[in-house]
Amino acid sequence: MIGATERILAVVREVPAGQVVTYGQVARLAGLPGSARQVGYALARLGMESGVPWQRVVRADGSIAPRRAAADQRRRLESEGIGFDAEGRIDLERWRWHPGTDPLSP
DNA sequence: TTTATGACGAAAG
DNA sequence: GCTTTCGCCATAA
């Protein structure tokens, strides 16, 4: 029996570098519509060196969830080519990941 | 067992 | 665009 946390992490691992997804989006893709908080909670208990690209998960409005590692997350995303506006938000229209449309899948 | 909390989100005013 | 309200659910106390 695969737990919800496992499915959440599986989805996050699918997100290609240079693109982002929102918490709610991950929840839906994991089959847990409406449980966006669960996504954040699963990532919070995760180790930063777990290999999961947690930095690619952002809020529904494109901003970074305020916490200790927020600055580190922004730095990582910028190094992947993602840009932020003056209010610290990402243009989701431009960098949002849509399943099946990642650069490596023709 | 009941309450509170948290890397959230959408709707309503 | 802002704040409030409510829904969600695993953990902790």
Q: Average pLDDT of A65-72?
A: 92
A70/B4 CA-to-C1' distance in Å? 24
- Chain-wide mean pLDDT for chain A? 90
pTM of the shown model? 0.92
- Bridge partners (DSSP) listed for residue A33: none
Identify, with chain letter, the residue nearest to nucleotide C11 (CA–C1'). Answer: A41
- Bridge partners (DSSP) listed for residue A57: A21
pLDDT, tens only, A12-59: 999 999 999 999 999 999 999 989 999 999 999 887 678 899 999 999
Whether A59 sits with its Cβ under 7 A from any strand B atom: the answer reads yes
**List of domains in chain A:** 4-95 (1.10.10.10)
What is the model's pLDDT at position A71? 93
What is the model's pLDDT at position A4? 79
- The answer to whether A15 touches A97, Cβ cutoff 8 Å, is yes
